[in-house]
């Protein structure tokens, strides 16, 4: 049996928004951990909503770039 195309949907990928902020992309779910606009950190439960709890910024998926390894 071959793996389905969604078999890796559970793996998270570290991303930024044009080099700013920090998020995890898991399938279609975007967790905004550090806002690219106000630089505030979101609590994990709020981060999973996909926007900044502090300034209500909702990042564009067009701005997503892979995060650079430190």
pLDDT at 64 over 60: yes
Q: Is residue 67 part of a domain?
A: no
Looking at the domain assignment, is residue 70 inside a domain? no
Is pLDDT above 90 for 69?
Answer: no
18 contacts 30 by C-beta, under 8 angstroms: no
DSSP 62: G
Q: What is the pLDDT of residue 7?
A: 43
In a domain, 48, yes or no: yes
Q: CA 57 to CA 50: how far, in whole Å?
A: 9
Closest to 16 (Cα-Cα) out of 36, 39, 38:
36
Task: Give how many domains the chain has, as a whole number.
Answer: 1
Put simply, whether the predicted model's pTM sits higher than 0.85 gets the answer no
Domain-located, residue 32: yes
pLDDT tens readout for residues 44-54: 999 999 999 99
| Domain span including residue 49 | 12-57
Q: What does the pLDDT look like over 5-63, one tens digit per residue?
A: 444 557 999 999 999 999 999 999 999 999 999 999 999 999 999 999 999 999 999 99
């Amino acid at each position: 049996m071959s793996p389905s195309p969604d078999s890796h949907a559970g793996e998270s990928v570290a991303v930024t928004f044009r080099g700013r902020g920090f998020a995890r992309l898991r399938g279609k779910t975007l967790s905004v951990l550090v806002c690219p606009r106000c630089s505030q950190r979101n609590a994990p439960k709020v981060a999973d909503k996909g926007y900044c709890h502090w300034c209500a910024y909702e990042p564009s998926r067009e701005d997503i770039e892979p995060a650079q390894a430190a």
